[in-house]
Every structure is written in structure tokens, then in C-alpha cells.
Amino acid sequence: MSAEDFEQTGTGTATQNGNGKGSTQAAREALKGMPKAQTAHGADKSPVREDVDIKGRTLWLTHMPFGGSFMLAAAFRSIGLDARVVPSEDARVLELGGKYTSGDECYPQRIVIGDYLRLIEDENLDPKKTAFLLPTANGPCRFGQYFGLLRQVLDEQGLKDAIVLPITSADGYAGIGEQAGSLIRTAWRAVVIQDILLKLLLMTRPYEVNAGETDRVYMECLEVMAAVIERQGVTNKERLADAKAGLLRCKDKFAAIPVKKEDRPLIGVVGEIYCRLNTFANNEIIRHIEAQGGECWLAGVAEWVWYTNDEAFRRLREEKRRMSKDWLKNFLTARVMEKDEEALGEDFHDVFAHHREAHVHEVLEYSRPYLPREGSLGEMVLSTGGAIYLYHQGADGIVDISPFTCMNGIVTEAIYPRVSREHDNIPIRVFYFDGTASDLDRDVGIFLELAKTYKRRKKIARS
Ligand code: SF4
């Protein structure tokens, strides 16, 4: 995101005029801002076509998590694009994804490819009217390879006309922001809203009296908030006011759910961002934990956005570009992000009094003795620092969710024994997922017994 995005405060999103030209123009602006894909490991040729234009196409999003993609699709609709979320994943997604992966790729890649291939089969999509959203990144992790593989698979399927639209976290998503201000600001608000609703869901569901009621209310609230986010022709100020009003309605809906008073162990959930947030990828581990008596505190999506923003600052410092134009843009961007986050969250301080989210700096400082941010990147740093932050909040155990063979889980698994030893021996366990069946109930059950034992003797009370 860039400062220019936010300088538009009060000017509003692109407007939809009578002949639809407003949305078309907004779509064009958004597309102009979409960066070329960054391939990993310094590959020098971007596979992204320069003439990318998704005007008149349906833009599809996969789940990360479902609620987050649901809200993000609404943000794309706010600038006149037809954006939708793929249906829930099932075994066929894995089967189709498995046809085009060898097993060396990471598990999220298999699911994402399977998601889109199943959609093509089931919906009989016209490639000329279809676009697939795919976040991408530059760096040592395999994430940067997703784009190239999906492009290759689509081409092999005779779907050369289908567009893959990458978004990247490089420079804190600055590439998009420079020319798609209203989209980016609305998307950030969508992220903040998704995190609030997901938090309410996880705080309430384990205690509900009537099974299924919290899930139903959560879905209703997603609809309420998506209707606010997707509206066209409103100013940023108006959308913020509407979003706050919508969130208050949601707060009341959650507060009205009958709950039992129970003293459950609190399990902090950290890990690789896709697998942690995509409930299909992690075999609904949170529901397993809840079914066996726990409550989960899951690291949300905003953490990653703050981290990428902070990394942009770090890089500028390293390049001795403090007080440069880029620095100033980043600084202003962060201030406006903070302002929006605070405005949307201010009515929830009472509800979240015992579930305060960490500032990314706190997380990075907690991680420093084990994985200093200057020497390691990504989720392994956030998971390590996040685990320690949750320990200080009185969590009774930490679960780290990782795709099998992902370096994040491999590194953190090596570090956690020391983290645990130096933090009152709090139980910490990495759960790996690769789409094969495992006795998750048994493993979760064993872990929860450890958490219950720790709960009885722990030194830090729940905040
Ligand atoms: S973090 Fe791990 S699982 Fe996720 S994209 Fe990177 S290599 Fe794959």
C-alpha cells in the first residue's frame, strides 16, 4: 500500500455512473496497478502478460480464510469488478491438484491449483471471461512459484485466454496501491473486519449452547459486512461509518448467542499463513480442539500485512534510505492503516479486553533471541514471536500449523523445545498437513491433556 492510496480519504471509491463507465474506469485503474509477478530465486523473466485486463471477466478467489476471501471479493466488487470466492474445497480439489503436482510442491499450491481446476470443470467457465487471483511473492519460499505453475497448467488445459492476476506483498503491496487507492484501502478494511469477525467466532463458538448457532451468526455477519464493503459510489469516510455501524450490529448478534460458562484451556494457534487459515488445508483442527474442550486464539490476516509493511521499513533502513520518498510513503501508509484499524476496532475494546492482538513489533521482539528478523523471514519469525506473546497472555498451549515439508514448520519445530524450556515448559507442538489422513483427534487429545496439565501449574494467569 502506498500513501497515495490514503490521500484519497474523502474522495471516495470510483463511482458507478449510469452507463457503467465509472466501474470500468476503476477496474482499469486497479489493473494498471497490478504488479508483474515476482518469481522466486531471482528468475529474470516475469510470466505475467503486460496487457493484463480483467474488465468484463469474473475474478475468482480461493479461501484464505473463507471469510477473508469473502470480504476481499467484496472489496474488488466495490470498484466494479465481478469477484467471487470458489466453493468449499473437497477431496476432488486434492485429486485435481495432485494431477499437476509431483509432491515436491507445497501443499497449499496443490489446493489452490485444484480449487481452480475443479471450478473450470464444474462451472464450464469461458476462459475469455475468467480471471484467477493469485497472491505471489519474491523470496526463498516456494510461494513465488505458484503463479508460474498455475499459468502452465492453464495453458496445458487449453485455457490460455484465462488470466491469472497476481498480487504481491513485495514493498507492502505498494505496486497495487499506487494506482488503485480506493481498492487497497477498502481491502485493508476488509482484512480488519475479517479478523474481528473471526475472533468473535472463535471466542464464542466453544461456549455456545445451541450447536451451530455461532457459525450461522458468523455467516450472517459476513453478509452484513460484505454488503457494506462492496458498495460503489461512497466516500472512504462514508464507508468507514457504515462499516462501524455494521460491526456494531455484528457485535450485538454475537452477544445474543446463549453461552455456557466453562473454564477451557486457551490454545494459541500460529503457523504458515495459508494452512493456518484455510480450514480445509488444516483438517479443521480448530474444531477438533474445540470439540475436545479447548478455545483457540488464532493469528489473523492483518499480522501479515503489518509484517510486510514493517519489512519495507527495514529494507529502507538497510539501504540507508531513511527519510526518502519511499520512507515517507510507507510511514504515511502505516499511519492511515493504524487509523482505520483503530476506528474499526474501537467498539470492541471491551469484548477483546482479554484477547488483545500483539503489535507486530512485540512479536518480532519476542522472536529476536531465537530468530532475529534480520536473519530470517516470514512466518517462522512471526510464529516464534507469536507463540511467546501468547504465552505471556496466559495461553495454555501453542499449536503451530504447517504444511508438510514447509521450511517454516521445520525451523520452528527445531526452535520450540528451547522456547518451551525458557517459558515454563508450555506445551508447543507443530501439526503438519499434506492432505493424507491422520488421527487428528488422537493427536489433539494428547496435546490438550498436556495443555490442561500446564494450565493447572502455570505461572502466568490468563490476561
Ligand atoms: S511458506 Fe511453506 S507452504 Fe507456504 S508457500 Fe512457502 S514453502 Fe509453501
pLDDT mean by block of 10 residues, the chain; 463 residues: 36 31 41 36 34 79 94 93 95 93 86 94 91 75 80 90 76 44 89 98 98 98 98 94 98 98 97 95 97 97 93 90 88 93 97 95 97 90 98 98 93 97 98 89 97 95 82
Determine the distance separating the centroid of ligand 1 and the alpha carbon of 430, expressed in angstroms.
15
- Among 41, 105, 142, the mutation site with the greatest number of ligand 1 atoms within 8 A of its Cβ is 142
Specify the pairing of strand 58-61 against strand 82-85: parallel
In a domain, 180, yes or no: yes
Burial of 430 (0-12, 13-18, 19+ CB in 10 A): buried
Q: What is the C-alpha separation between 204 and 199, in angstroms, rounded? A: 9
293 with 397, same domain? yes
Q: Which atom of ligand 1 is nearest to the CA of 273?
A: 4
Same-domain check for residues 168 and 121: yes
Q: 431, 443 in Cβ contact below 8 A?
A: yes
Q: Are 214 and 279 part of one and the same domain? A: no
Q: Are residues 242 and 271 in the same domain?
A: no
CA dist., res. 74 & res. 69, Å (int): 8
| Atom number, ligand 1, closest to the C-alpha of residue 407 | 2
**C-alpha 49 to ligand 1 mean position (Å):** 25
411 alpha carbon to ligand 1 midpoint, in Å? 12
Q: Does residue 229 lie in a domain region?
A: yes
Q: Which atom of ligand 1 is nearest to the CA of 409?
A: 2
Ligand 1 centre to CA of 269 (Å) is 17
Contacts of 264 (CB under 8 A, 6+ apart): 206, 207, 293, 294, 295
The answer as to whether 162 is a domain residue is yes
Query: What's the order of all strands across the beta sheet hosting 82-85?
Result: 82-85, 58-61, 130-136, 163-168
What is the whole-number distance in angstroms between the Cα of residue 54 and the centre of ligand 1? Answer: 27
Same domain, 166 and 25: yes
Ligand 1: atom nearest CA of 106 is: 8
**Taking the model in full, what pTM does it have?**
0.86
1: its cell numbers: 500500500
Contact indicator for 250, 221 with CB cutoff of 8 Å? yes
CB atoms within 10 A of CB 332: 17
Domain with residue 420: its CATH number is 3.40.50
Residues 179, 275: one domain?
A: no
In ligand 1, the atom with minimum distance to the C-alpha of 105 is 8
Based on the domain organization, do 271 and 409 belong to the same domain?
Answer: yes
Quick check: is 446 in a domain? Answer: yes
* Within a domain: 326: no
- Same structural domain for residues 88 and 219? yes
- The whole-angstrom separation of Cα 377 and Cα 383 is 11
Q: Mutation test of ligand 1: which of 134, 147, 272 has the most ligand atoms closer than 8 Å to its C-beta?
A: 272
Are residues 154 and 109 part of one domain? yes
Among 262, 282, 310, the domain-final residue is: 262
25 near 81, Cβ under 8 Å? Answer: no
In a domain, 342, yes or no: no
355 CA to centre of ligand 1 in angstroms: 28
Phi, psi angle pair for 456, to nearest 5° = -70, -25
Query: Ligand 1 pocket test: which of 278, 408, 433 has the largest number of ligand atoms within 8 Å of its C-beta?
Result: 408
The number of domains in the chain is 2
CA of 272 to the centre of ligand 1 (A): 7
**Ligand 1 atom at minimal distance to the Cα of residue 143:** 5
Where does ligand 1 bind, in terms of residues with CB under 6 Å?
A: 106, 108, 141-143, 272, 274, 379, 403, 406, 408
Contact 23, 14 (CB under 8 A): yes
Q: How far is the CA of 102 from the centre of ligand 1 (A)?
A: 15
179 and 295 co-located in one domain: no
Identify the residue whose C-alpha is closest to ligand 1 atom 8.
106
Residue 308 lies in a domain: no
In the reported structure, the alpha carbon of residue 106 is separated from the centroid of ligand 1 by a whole-number distance in angstroms of 6
What are the C-alpha distances in Å from 118 to residues 4, 121, 143, 169?
Answer: 38, 5, 21, 27
Cα(139) to centroid(ligand 1), Å: 11
Atom in ligand 1 nearest the alpha carbon of residue 142: 7
Instruction: Give the Å distance between the CA of 105 and the centre of ligand 1.
Output: 9
Establish if 317 belongs to a structural domain: no
* Beta carbons of 399 and 282 less than 8 angstroms apart: no
Which among 267, 285, 288 has a CA at the least distance from the CA of 276?
285
Q: 287 with 192, same domain? A: no
Give yes or no: residues 290 and 240 share one domain. no
Nearest residue (CA) to ligand 1, atom 2: 406
Domain interval for residue 208 = 7-262
- In ligand 1, the atom with minimum distance to the C-alpha of 378 is 1
C-alpha of residue 215 to centroid of ligand 1, in Å: 29
